[in-house]
Structure 1
Amino acid sequence: MARPQAALGAVTFAALGLAFGYAIASAYLTTRFGGSLERIDFLFLVRSFGVLRERAPAEFLTAVAILGGGLVLGLGVSGLAANEALTRFGLTHWQTRAELRRNGFLGRPGRGFLLGKLGGARSRAPFLVSTTFPHALLVAPTGRGKGVGFVIPNLLTFKGSVVVLDVKAENFRETSRHRKAMGDRVIRFAPADWSGRPTHRYNPLSRIAELSNPDQQMMELRLTAGLFLQADSERVAGLLQGGINLFVAAGMLALERGRPTLGEIYRIAAGGGDKQKAYARLALEVKNPAARLLFESLASINPDTLTSYLSLLMTSGLDTWANSAIDAATAHCDVLFRELRRSPHAVYLEVAPEMIRPLAPLLRLFFSDLIASLQAHEPGPDEPWPVMILLDEFDRLGRMPIVAESIKTLRSYGAHLALVTQTIPALDEIYGENTRLSLQGGAGVKLYLTPSDPKTIAELSAAVGRTTRRVVSKSRPLGPSPLKSRTLSERTEDAPLLSEDQARTMSLDDVVLVIDAQCPIRAKRIKYYEDPVLRALHAAQSGDLPYPDPATARLDGRVTTVEQQIAALTGSVARLTADRSSPASSPEPAPAAPVSGDPTGQGAANDPDGAVSTGGRLVASARRSQVRQAVRTGPSALLEPTLLTPADVPRLREATSRLSDLLNTPAPATPSDRSDQDRPAETPEHGDASESIRLV
């Protein structure tokens, strides 16, 4: 109903209610003062108004109450007439402040994502904070202020560890000093910073090198390959599996060489002219039987197929490590993901906008490895800190299956994940519509800043929901006469709460939040440099930006090298202990298996280590020879006393003592060993293991 007609109706019904109340009040006063209902004096109240108020206040107040009741009754009837029950459709509406409070969106900043605020940017209106839903999907075209309105406000307020893809280095510049003042350890990983500013380093293979089980190492290498190697077409997926086999074999050899880096894997895979001959030589070098079998299998493949394997392995992401700067930035590890829940960290992965595509394999690996590390186990009592992950330019990183698979379970591992994309079609192009819908379902909060492309506009309008609206039609007959009657008709219809036109023309300061199982929210965008609270936090920063100290970075790298060597030595001791504790399956040695490519069958003669195979195992004398040789060329050459910290010394002493005991303790004699018992004791060129590794 139009406003003039509604007002006229309200006045009419109010007057009728007042008249009805006056009649009842007159009847009451007539009977109260001795009159009869048959002869009601309707003018008594008007004529005696002042006298009644002074001399009969009780009766006067009763009469006034009756008059008021008639007025209220008239207005009530007017409201019912104006809102008569018509057909109802959708019931969606924007959440009220009471609903926001009840649904947990008016909590204190720091516990969840900061989404918007209920007032203008300069006001002190309450913030909207997602304390109920741990994940968010932000859809914001270029220039909509997702950095100043979402990323930076969350970096300034979140209490816990934060990991952010920092495009243009804006986030590090604007928030790193504040995070350091909060007590965070600030990590800046900038593998493609050509300006020469120092960077921390990240080596995804360092944790694999710490494992003592070769089978587990091989499995972890295969899983790591799946995290970042990505073919452009499903048709070549089979060829990529051949390339991954090469990656795994090269990775095992890199671990044995004591250089567990992706750069070393790249050099092993790409090195050599004739790949068949090169991989055959690598099969003789690698000690792990499964890796040797992979190299032998690759060496026997048709050259054209082998070239396809290698080419696809490179174009799928491994050729990123052809760049020496990327190789150096991933040669050591300053970022320990397992520490993020134990103490607060602020990790900034800096990359220039034009470098996102070239570095996409490394970026995918970094964040996929982070999520996989968090999902290794649920937080323990010593891991109280949540981890906020901000993935800007998510659609430009390529497909990350682990994100789509884990977004519904990350909450139990203490992780908060925010995915930032420019449009919905960009996600569909990478993941397909079904996976994109799964991502949206896993993100309990969808935050939209004024969309620009038609599909995102339609998606937003549909996601907000539909409501019921009244439609009034007015008609009048044709002709000049003003006395001809006009008619009004009213109906309800189903309509979107936010039409596509309204979504397209939405103010740039507005944000729309679509919440799972709740009505949508319309709020204002945050601008950290105008908000009183956030502006004060930002302005309080002082001092230099917390770039890593080059000297400290070098020292950390050397300590990391020592730790990796200690871990490798401990693993070697554990494997040797297990091998010696297992008795020989037969008292008689089995004939030595011929080495591939050795038609004479004299494999032992061609083995550079002089190893003799006994049923797939090394006899004791050959095993001791190999261990002594490894000690001479390995730790004695690489470990330096100045690289050790006090915490490393007990571990290295224990590992050295165990290795020395194993070398000096006689093994169960076998027929082949008995001939060695009469020989003079072999004196190592550089002394035994306990002398090779000197501790100061």
Structure 2
Amino acid sequence: MAQQEYGLQESAPRRKMRGWWFLLLLPVLALLGMSMATLKIASDYGFQPALGKPWFMLFGVPFYAPWSVFSWEGISRQSMDNAMTLGQAFFILPLLFILLCVVAFRRLKGNKSLHGSARWARKEEIARMGYFGGQGVYVGGWFDKNKNVLRYLRHNGPEHILCFAPTRSGKGVGLILPTLLAWEGSSLVLDIKGENWALTSGWRKAQGQSVLRFAPADASGAGCAFNPLDEVRLTSLEAVQDVQNLALMLVDPDGKGMADHWTKAAFAFFSGLILHCCVMVRSREGRMPTLQELTIMMSDPERSSAELLDEMMATDHAALFRGFAPDADERVGEACHIFIASSAREMASKAENEASGVLSSALVNMAIYRDPIININTSRSDFHIHDLMNHENPVNLYLVTPPDGIDRVRPLMRLMLDMIIRRVCAKMEFVDGASKASYLHRLLLMLDELTSLGKLPVLDKAISYIAGYGGKLYIIVQNIKQLNEEYGKENAIMANCHVRIAYAPNETETAELLSKMVGKTTVVEKKTSVSIGGGRGRSRSVNMTETARPLLTPDECMRLPGAEKDADGNITKPGHMLIFTAGQSAIYGMQILYFKDPTFAQRAKIPAPGISEKYPFGITDSLYFPRPAAWFAPETRAKREVAPVQPKSFESFLE
């Protein structure tokens, strides 16, 4: 049998019987015809005992062996002819009927996969994709027409998810909130408006989890604080790479790359300065410096930049290391001193104007850390990045900032995400030839409006391997144009997201992409033509034509029914959506509305912890300090070893 040269090939092709079924049918029809001929003769002779013993009785009628008609003697010619005519009729008429059906079927069927075989996924296919498993994040719903019920679709694999959803389309009520009201592991939530904290932190806290609200522009003191310099592994050989990663984000806060000389030179000098500042403050005060202290060291009006460079070159950093970290590897102090001194010496060798330009390039992006509120919220660490996946209970970090302040605090948010992603991907263990989870809890990175932070180069690279370290990305953007503007058309985000979700798009580029992703199908059309001759005769012909069309055209994508809203703009009915899974047919789904589900609605009503008139947003947890925290940075406490425990169930909380 020749293999089909187009379309999808079956993994285990079915063997078609072709004409074999017809050859098997012939002896069956022959036996049927002989049986009817035998029965006719037996009936004509009144079923005489002389005909022999019948095979069986059916409804009081004896049936003889089909070939008995050839062994009976003395049968009249007339009776034999009538019996043969009847037998031939039972042989020929069914055969003709079957042949006509086959011809008609082949004629009318057409080739339904000639130009494309795209179709919507069926229930059994959705089940094989694992979406009915009842665990993981929510990717939408699917309406079961047979049972007249909306079934939730959940994804619990390590693969990442990308969602295209315009603003006010229902992504929050249909994807983000249901997921955060059900996800059992740790989470990092980019929560620009703060509504995810307000509606989900209460339930997650009731589950025995820790909830942290990092709002760098919040002056209430009820949010958590995070000092990026606390993450520098100062007493290990990783200290240099840690300060270099920090310096890269501080001198290039927009992720545009170090294309010019000034930025590259600022990076080289700033890396050494950060490490020098860490060593000096740790030696003098027993703690890590803050970003404001780093800024002040660079722009101290009481000493010149030349004096700062002299201090960096003259200080015996190795001796300071031996003082505050006597048990550390001796190579660390020596390596740090060489790194700091060489960066200072390189800066000192530059002409005065060039050195001034380099210093200005390093300082220009540090102005945000002079803000007293920003300084308060970065003066200590209520958590460490390691805690997100390795604390005794899952930890949930909400990155909150008002939309009107996102441009100002964007560098800090980008810095935090860069550090978290790098640290998550820092360690992998292997046992018996296979990777072993080196964490207690998986980390869901719910990145709504990701492009509002600009391009994150580390994300563009880490998305291809972060799943192996326990990280699961759930990225939400408004459209493909927005994503391409930041990450380019050949971005790794689109290529590495196994599951893609789409609400009704509001611009043509995304609609065209979705139409291509759904694929093309073949439409078989039947055309009948009748021709009338000069006389009374006429002829009728039927032609089958196969034409290609997208399963969903771009304009149909843009007309995908959206969520219905009332006069106040509140969603009242769910809209339709598309769900794409790599290697599978697309799912034509329906949005979830969390407030229509009694379980979700009840969970969302649990208030954020510590809400009061004084603290309208609630009070965040702290893994190391009492809450509400003082505005001044207390002495850092040593991190304790913890063991995993079973979180409380929602049902036990209700009791």
Superposed pair shares fold, TM > 0.5: yes
Does residue 416 of the first structure (1) align with residue 472 of the second (2)?
Answer: yes
CA contact (8 A) 1:139 1:449 kept: yes
Does residue 91 of the first structure (1) align with residue 120 of the second (2)?
Answer: no
For 2:62 and 2:152, the matched residues in 1 are separated by: 53
Structure 1 residues 19-34: aligned runs within 5 Å: 29=36, 31-34=38-41
Structure 2 vs 1, CA of residues 85 and 553 (structure 1 numbering), >3 Å: closer, same or farther?
closer
Structure 1 residues 12-51: aligned runs within 5 Å: 29=36, 31-34=38-41
SS of the residue 1:347 aligns to: strand
CA contact (8 A) 1:139 1:420 kept: yes
Q: What is the letter of the counterpart of residue 365 of structure 1? A: L
Does residue 440 of the first structure (1) align with residue 494 of the second (2)?
Answer: yes
Does residue 535 of the first structure (1) align with residue 558 of the second (2)?
Answer: no
After TM superposition, give the deviation of residue 227 of structure 1 in Å.
4.0
User: Equivalent of 2:294, from 238, 250, 265?
Assistant: 265
After TM superposition, give the deviation of residue 298 of structure 1 in Å.
2.5
Does residue 145 of the first structure (1) align with residue 170 of the second (2)?
Answer: yes
After TM superposition, give the deviation of residue 502 of structure 1 in Å.
1.2
Q: What is the letter of the counterpart of residue 156 of structure 1? A: L
Q: What is the letter of the counterpart of residue 34 of structure 1? A: I
CA contact (8 A) 2:193 2:401 kept: yes
Partner of 1:308: 357
Partner of 2:263: 240
User: Equivalent of 1:328, from 366, 376, 398?
Assistant: 376
Does residue 116 of the first structure (1) align with residue 140 of the second (2)?
Answer: yes
Percent of aligned pairs sharing the same letter: 23
SS of the residue 1:341 aligns to: helix
CA contact (8 A) 2:437 2:470 kept: no
Partner of 1:425: 481
User: Equivalent of 2:277, from 239, 254, 264?
Assistant: 254
Question: Comparing both chains, which one has the higher relative contact order based on Cα–Cα distances under 8 Å and sequence gaps of 6 or more?
Answer: 2
CA contact (8 A) 1:470 1:492 kept: yes
Partner of 2:558: 504
CA contact (8 A) 1:206 1:333 kept: yes
After TM superposition, give the deviation of residue 193 of structure 1 in Å.
2.1
Partner of 2:547: 493
Q: What is the letter of the counterpart of residue 424 of structure 1? A: I
CA contact (8 A) 2:480 2:509 kept: yes
For 1:501 and 1:423, the matched residues in 2 are separated by: 16
Q: Between Structure 1 and Structure 2, which shows a larger proportion of helix residues? A: 1
Q: What is the letter of the counterpart of residue 359 of structure 1? A: V
User: After alignment, is 179-188 or 526-535 more displaced?
Assistant: 526-535
Q: TM-score, normalised by structure 1?
A: 0.66
Does residue 221 of the first structure (1) align with residue 287 of the second (2)?
Answer: no
For 1:558 and 1:307, the matched residues in 2 are separated by: 34
Structure 2 vs 1, CA of residues 473 and 83 (structure 1 numbering), >3 Å: closer, same or farther?
closer
- RMSD, aligned CA: 4.1
SS of the residue 2:397 aligns to: strand
CA contact (8 A) 1:332 1:557 kept: no
CA contact (8 A) 1:272 1:278 kept: no
Q: Between Structure 1 and Structure 2, which shows a larger proportion of strand residues? A: 2
Deviation track 1:361-403 (CA, whole Å, cap 9, x = no partner) reads: 1111111211111112137677332111111111121221111
After TM superposition, give the deviation of residue 114 of structure 1 in Å.
0.8
For 1:539 and 1:229, the matched residues in 2 are separated by: 43
Structure 2 vs 1, CA of residues 431 and 158 (structure 1 numbering), >3 Å: closer, same or farther?
same
For 2:395 and 2:63, the matched residues in 1 are separated by: 75
CA contact (8 A) 1:231 1:237 kept: no
After TM superposition, give the deviation of residue 265 of structure 1 in Å.
1.5
Consecutive unaligned residues of structure 1, counting only runs of 5 or more, are 1-20, 38-51, 568-644, 648-696
Deviation track 1:149-185 (CA, whole Å, cap 9, x = no partner) reads: 1111110011111110111110011011100111111
Alignment coverage as a number of residue pairs: 521
Partner of 1:378: 428
Structure 2 vs 1, CA of residues 540 and 200 (structure 1 numbering), >3 Å: closer, same or farther?
closer
User: Equivalent of 1:402, from 453, 458, 467?
Assistant: 458
Structure 1 residues 99-114: aligned runs within 5 Å: 99-109=125-135, 112-114=136-138
For 1:120 and 1:168, the matched residues in 2 are separated by: 35
For 1:327 and 1:494, the matched residues in 2 are separated by: 62
After TM superposition, give the deviation of residue 280 of structure 1 in Å.
3.9
After TM superposition, give the deviation of residue 327 of structure 1 in Å.
1.6
SS of the residue 2:150 aligns to: coil
Does residue 337 of the first structure (1) align with residue 388 of the second (2)?
Answer: no
After TM superposition, give the deviation of residue 219 of structure 1 in Å.
2.7
SS of the residue 1:357 aligns to: helix
Partner of 2:224: 200
For 2:539 and 2:303, the matched residues in 1 are separated by: 98
For 2:217 and 2:303, the matched residues in 1 are separated by: 32
SS of the residue 1:152 aligns to: helix
After TM superposition, give the deviation of residue 319 of structure 1 in Å.
2.6
After TM superposition, give the deviation of residue 68 of structure 1 in Å.
9.9
CA contact (8 A) 2:169 2:503 kept: yes
SS of the residue 1:162 aligns to: strand
Does residue 211 of the first structure (1) align with residue 234 of the second (2)?
Answer: yes
After TM superposition, give the deviation of residue 540 of structure 1 in Å.
5.9
After TM superposition, give the deviation of residue 249 of structure 1 in Å.
2.8
Q: What is the letter of the counterpart of residue 272 of structure 1? A: P
After TM superposition, give the deviation of residue 559 of structure 1 in Å.
8.9
